[in-house]
Chain A
Amino acid sequence: MSSDTSGSKRQAVISAFASRKRTLGFTLSPSLLWLLLLLMAPLTFMVVISFMSINDAYEIVWQPTMANYSGLFTGSGPFWETPFFHSLMLSYAIAGITTILCLVMAFPLAYFLARRGGRTFKVIIFLVLLPFFTMYLVRAYSWYLMFGPSGVINRTLLKTGIVNGPIGLFNYGIPAIVVGLVHAYFPYMLLSLYASMEGLDFSLVEAARDLGASRTGTLRDVILPLTLPGIISGSLFVFVPALGAFITPRFLGQGRVLMVGQLIEGRITGQYAIDYGSAASMFIVVSIVVAFALAFRYVSIEELGGV
């Protein structure tokens, strides 16, 4: 493969990587630089902006203020009646329901995949992964075709004579958004669960059964604790992106449901209100930090990386 044409160059490369310290520097510094410049710095700056304001010329006024934060929660009524509080709570609820549904649905499938090898495994994992690899926008759009008063579901029900008017459940709104989000993030949950179940020693399950444990008892005392890392990391990878979702609520809510991601996007692209948008984003950022901190109480980072 590698011929000895330029021996001196080779030696230079080898000696460059000879000391562990220098190798660490070579391997670590590019990504460190990237993460600092394109993740840490922007996020830090966003925190700063959230305490500043912008003037009519869209320039930043460098004067610390809490106006953005108080502005989020002031309206004609008490703070729980403000639009921001509403959409924040709605987002938490929708993301929570989505996470639970993903967990309930992915668990049996992950178990099935972990206990089955060969061809069945390959075919099913292909059928699961293909929608996952398909563009998010396409999947949101495909559900957009299904829902609505004259969407595929309602039209089909009407034409087959099962119902005689469009069913509200299949119109755009919260149920449609939840379905779209479950469809979008289900594979994250499945892959996390599968990763932890794949490493599970099923002889422990059999031992529990032999020793007289019931099926539910085995599930509760053996399977669930052993797959906890997968459950937690899967929930994290579903809950956090669902919280800040934008496309799905936009198309499947049709203006009737305002999640926090849409609210922020609207302010930024509509009015370039980066101060307001930053302050609102802080609630998502803080939620992520809290979710991660909670997760780390139960699993280590190695187990979390199993996705």
Chain B
Amino acid sequence: MAAETGTTTERADESSESPTFGHERRQRLLRRGLYVIVGLLLVFLWIPLVAMMFLSFAVNSSTFFPFQGFTFAHYTATFADGSLMTALLNSVQVATFSALIATVLGVLASFALVRYDFPLKELYRTFGILPMVIPGVVLGIALIIYFQTVLGMTMGPITLILTHSIYGFPFVLLMVTARLYTFDRSLEDAARDLGADPLTTFWDVTLPIVAPAIGAGFLFAWIRSFEDFIRAHFVGGTMNVITVSMYSMIKYGTAPKMNAISTFIVFVIAVALAVAMNVGNVTGYVAGTGGGEEE
């Protein structure tokens, strides 16, 4: 079973000549059915977000009816909100620092996992994935108790960056190891045979091939830190990050600004993702194939 899953797929030509007309019709119906299902799933994924985006421009911001017209007032109010903008900046800083740490640790660990054998390697990999899977409530509590009672730290930016660096680590690890597994080692051997020293080989051969996966890992870790509420809620102390502000906005019912800031974030992420997909071919790495279309 494990052997077959590793083989590469040739996308079979679907228009296979079929003996009977009924078979062909059923084939077509099934394919059409699949399109319908895909369409419905996309509607499910998008409908709440589209509704929210629409409401961000509506005068009455929490429901469609009665509709009272369009306005930009929610946006101007949102961007004029100083504490909200500070929180946004704080989040960007925390996400950047923690994703950088996660990327450095994740890239190094990936090389160790893929290229070397050491005792308890499988166990190590399991623990490497754990921070991504373990619910935020559990990790948040474990860390706040630990930081406070064992290390005697005050909750703030440092504890939050440390927490998010461990949270982002598995995302980098998974993407970079996937890339390294499909990496053709003979390219490195060729470079060495042609007289390149190990450092040159690393810079000119290994790194350029692995770089897109590293970029995708960084992006993933960055977004996971940026969007995290529950861990920040526990270990962020009095620091105001965007998710904490948004959480209290929902809790105390100030929908207009929430719609506007959310729509703005969806838009920024859409642009970033579109650029990443067309420039760096992120899809392949995110979808775990490690291959992608560039081959």
Contact residues in A for B287 (Cβ distance below 8 Å): 113, 125, 191, 194-195, 198
> Are B246 and A241 in touch, CB under 8 angstroms?
no
Contact residues in A for B129 (Cβ distance below 8 Å): 304-305
Contact residues in A for B234 (Cβ distance below 8 Å): 268-269
- A-B pair number, CB within 8 angstroms: 312
- Return the contact of A42 from the options B16, B133, B146, B270 (Cβ within 8 A): B146
> Are B111 and A27 in touch, CB under 8 angstroms?
yes
Q: Is B198 an interface residue (CB 8 A)?
A: yes
> Are B162 and A135 in touch, CB under 8 angstroms?
no
Give complex CA distance A23, B108 in Å.
Answer: 10
A-contact 0/1 string along B134-146, CB 8 Å cutoff: 1111110111111
Closest to B45 in A: A131
Closest to B62 in A: A145
> Are B45 and A1 in touch, CB under 8 angstroms?
no
Main secondary structure of the interface of A (DSSP, over half): helix
Question: Size band of the A side of the interface?
Answer: 35 or more
Question: Size band of the B side of the interface?
Answer: 35 or more
> Are A202 and B11 in touch, CB under 8 angstroms?
yes
From residue 117 to 134 of chain B, which have CB atoms closer than 8 A to chain A? 118, 122, 124-131, 133-134
Q: Is B6 an interface residue (CB 8 A)?
A: yes
Q: Is A57 an interface residue (CB 8 A)?
A: no
> Are A285 and B45 in touch, CB under 8 angstroms?
no
Q: A10-B199, A226-B1 are in contact. Are A288 and B134 (CB under 8 A)?
A: yes
B147 smallest CB distance to A (angstroms): 8
Give complex CA distance A24, B108 in Å.
Answer: 9
Give complex CA distance A49, B165 in Å.
Answer: 24
Give complex CA distance A159, B104 in Å.
Answer: 55
Contact residues in B for A38 (Cβ distance below 8 Å): 143, 162-163, 165-166
Task: Please list the residues of chain A having a beta carbon within 8 angstroms of any beta carbon in chain B.
Answer: 1-2, 10, 13-14, 17-18, 20, 23-24, 26-28, 30-32, 34-35, 38-43, 45-46, 49, 60, 105, 108-109, 111-117, 122, 124-131, 133-139, 141-146, 150-152, 155-156, 158-159, 183, 186, 191-192, 194-196, 198-204, 206, 225-226, 228-229, 236-237, 240-241, 243-247, 251, 261, 264-265, 268-269, 274, 277-278, 281, 284-285, 288, 292, 300-301, 303-307
12 contacts between A and B (CB under 8 A): A39-B131, A41-B146, A46-B142, A128-B45, A133-B269, A134-B227, A152-B63, A192-B288, A246-B136, A246-B230, A268-B234, A284-B135
Q: A108-B34, A138-B227, A194-B288 are in contact. List 6 more A-B contacts (CB 8 A).
A: A30-B104, A41-B146, A109-B37, A198-B287, A281-B142, A285-B134
Task: Please list the residues of chain B having a beta carbon within 8 angstroms of any beta carbon in chain A.
Answer: 1-2, 4-12, 14, 16, 34, 37-38, 41-42, 44-49, 51-52, 55, 62-65, 101, 104-106, 108-109, 111-112, 116, 118, 122, 124-131, 133-139, 141-146, 149-150, 162-163, 165-166, 169, 173-174, 177-178, 197-200, 203-204, 223, 226-230, 233-234, 243, 246-247, 250, 255, 258, 262, 265-266, 269-270, 273-274, 277, 283, 286-289
